[in-house]
Each structure stands twice: as structure tokens, then as C-alpha cells.
Structure 1
Amino acid sequence: MALEKQTVVDQITVTENGIVLYREATRIIEDGVQLTQTYHRTSLTPGQDLTGQPANVVAIAQAAWTAEVVAAYEAAQE
């Protein structure tokens, strides 16, 4: 009986104003059978520090957050 905990980013979405939303699924697996699954959602705003974020989320954010997107987001917040 081997228990395993897996955490994976299973959804990444970029909104029209550049906000990156992602969902992490945490799964408990016993002998190859998934017992439970829980979710945690996170949002990142254009220009936000990406330190500590999952690599695939960072790649999407860096592609989406052009200088124009960051400037438009910051202007909308004023």
C-alpha cells in the first residue's frame, strides 16, 4: 500500500486584460488509484513578481505580459 501525493497545474487561463489564472490539483493516489482530489486557484496580475510560481505558469505569463499589456493594466488601475 503506497500512498503518493501529486500536485499539478491542470488549468491556465489568460483574461483579456492580461490576468493569468491557474488551478493546481492535489491528488492522493494509492496503488495507482486516485482517492481524492482538491483544487487551489491563484491569479497573477500583469507585471507581478513571478518568483516561486510553477515554470509552465511563468512561461505563459511572460508570453502574455507584453509591455503594452502591462502598461494598459497599470493605466486601468489608476
Structure 2
Amino acid sequence: MALTKEIKCDKIEVVGDFKAVHCRQATVVLEDGVELSRSFHRHVLHPGDDISGEPQETQDVCNVVWTDTVKADWATFQAEQEAELNPG
């Protein structure tokens, strides 16, 4: 009776104009190869985020969709939001 735990990124989605990358990580507990439980953790990555700790597949997706134009548009959007929240 061996219990094992597998953690893997099982879903990557690209969402919105600024190409936010949604990552779903599944944690699967198995007993002798039979799944006992599965739980999920999600996180979102935005252009400019540090992706060095992400799985290679996630890094590859980010590098494809985060063009220089997308990164510049995201930076402009963030600056506009900051200006609205903290007017001069």
C-alpha cells in the first residue's frame, strides 16, 4: 500500500487583452496507482511577472503571448490605474 502525491500544471489559459496567463496546478494523491483525491491551486501571471520558477511549458506560453506590444500596453494600463487611484 504505497501512497504517492503528484503535483502538475494541468491547465494553462490565456485571458484578456493583456494576455494574463492563468495556471491551474493539480495535486493528486494516489494509493497503489488509484486516485484518492485531487485538489487545485490557481494563480495568474501578468506581463512583466517573474516566470523563472514556473514550469517550462508555462514559461513557453508566456514568452509567446507576452509580445513587446502586450508588455507596453500592460505597463500603460497599470500607470493609468495608479494615476486614477492616486491623483496628483
| Residue aligning to 1:77 | 78
- Residue 27 of structure 1: SS of its match in structure 2? strand
TM-score when normalising by structure 2: 0.84
Which runs of structure 1 show a deviation greater than 6 angstroms over 4 or more consecutive aligned residues? none
- Residue 59 of structure 1: SS of its match in structure 2? helix
User: Counterpart amino acid of 1:35?
Assistant: L
TM-score when normalising by structure 1: 0.94
Gaps of 5+ in 2: 80-88
Question: Which structure has more RCO (C-alpha within 8 Å, separation ≥ 6)?
Answer: 1
| 1:1-78 superposed matches below 5 A | 1-16=1-16, 17-78=18-79
Partners of 1:47 and 1:70 lie apart in 2 by 7
1:47-69 C-alpha deviation (Å, 9 max, x unpaired):
21112111111010011100000
Question: In proportion to residue count, which structure has more helix?
Answer: 2
**Alpha-carbon RMSD:** 0.8
Between the two proteins, the alignment pairs up a number of residues equal to 78
User: Which of the two has higher C-alpha Rg?
Assistant: 2
User: Counterpart amino acid of 2:56?
Assistant: A
What is the deviation of 1:40? 0.5
Gaps of 5+ in 1: none
